[in-house]
Amino acid sequence: MRDFENTNPIVVTVYFFAVSGICMFVSHPILLALSFFGALGYFISRHGARKVGLHLAMLAFLLTLALINPLVSSAGATQLFFINNSPVTLEATLYGIFASGAVVGVIYWFLSYTEIMTSDKLLYVLSRLSPKLSLVLSMALRYVALLAAQRKKIRQTQIALGLYSDGNIIDRVRGEMRVFSVLVSFALENGIITADSMAARGYGSGRRTSFAIFKFSSRDIFTLALILIFFALTVASMATGALDFEFYPYLSPIKTDLWAVIGYISYGMLVLLPTFAQMEERARWKYLRSKI
């Protein structure tokens, strides 16, 4: 298995939606904990000791969400203590902890997904689903960078001509409005030119083809098969009711029957799959370097 970041973008997309989709539709504490620590572990394996500020912000967000639920909800039968004659229950506290962990875990999953899925990978995936949507998105991404560069040029030109002043707020607002007006005119004119160019080249006159540098390899197929197997086993375990869990009014017992164990193991393997791939790639790289 190779570095998960270099896997085919379709496989990466299937994986992230599978692992986060299960987390969104279950309330079992073991699965939520696996999702959180799997997402955090993979993010740390990619960034190491960096992103400390992000982790602190996520920790503050998690603690805030965890504290809100027991303070606003008195559901649950096991009372711990009272705040202003309002009971704080064990069930509400645990639900707040695991629900906030699920939210933060999904955020970490999609942070990793957005870092891995560059614009060309995203366009490759969307081109298989909807070529028109892929075209619109590619043009939008192009115009974001194009308009940002053009705004900088317009602003510098206005300053050189003495038409832009930032001495006070009013002058700055007038200057930015003038820049914005020129930028809108540029965008409309460029849009017309693009449409005429597409029409002249025969866009829409026949079946559209596309080119992609990403291909399915045997490793991609093997990785996709593992993802689908683990996902199917987890969903099958959910369908049998082995992963059902209720926080209110009492905590449900955690099941340990065969289907429950299959669900725990399969989802655990699913969330750890990219981390294992990352670790294997690094171990192989160190081994190859030692042979030099």
pLDDT for position 49: 75
- Of 263, 170, 278, 185, nearest to 223 by C-alpha is 278
pLDDT for position 211: 61
pLDDT for position 233: 94
Cis peptide preceding 9, ω within 30 of 0: no
Chain center to CA of 67: 25
Instruction: Give the contacts of 249 (CB within 8 A, at least 6 positions apart).
Output: 75, 76, 77, 91
**pLDDT tens-digit profile of 228-240?**
999 999 999 999 9
pLDDT for position 232: 94
Burial class (CB in 10 A: 0-12, 13-18, 19+), 86: exposed
pLDDT for position 81: 79
Q: Give Cα separations from 189 to 183, 197, 291 (angstroms).
A: 10, 12, 59
User: In the chain, which stretches have pLDDT less than 50?
Assistant: 1
Write phi, then psi, for 87 (nearest 5 degrees): -75, 140
Write phi, then psi, for 73 (nearest 5 degrees): -120, 130
Other CB atoms within 10 Å distance of the CB of residue 198: 13
pLDDT for position 1: 43
pLDDT for position 270: 92
